[in-house]
Amino acid sequence: MMTDAAPVHIPLMELQHHHCREVTGTGEDGLALYCGHPRSGRTSYCARHRRINLVMVADLAKPQTKLPA
């Protein structure tokens, strides 16, 4: 299930195995904060970030067909 819920913003030292690893900002200390939603499948990302990072990037890598002039 895809969710557009706001990231939880978990600091590195509080991440657990099941948390999404997408960096979503920085804390007051300047260190990275992570999404924190449940990971999707065997990826490091939740369903939303998996789609953004893996599926959309793969689409961009596909050869583009040229339109006739």
Q: Would you list the domain boundaries of the chain?
A: 10-60
pLDDT recorded at residue 64: 66
- What is the overall mean pLDDT for the chain? 85
b/e map 19-56, b = 16+ CB within 10 Å:
bbbbebeeeeeeebbbbbbebbeeeebbbbbbeeeeee
Per-residue pLDDT tens over the stretch 24-55: 999 999 999 999 999 998 999 999 999 888 87
Per-residue pLDDT tens over the stretch 5-17: 788 999 999 999 9
pLDDT classification of 69: cutoffs 50, 70, 90: low
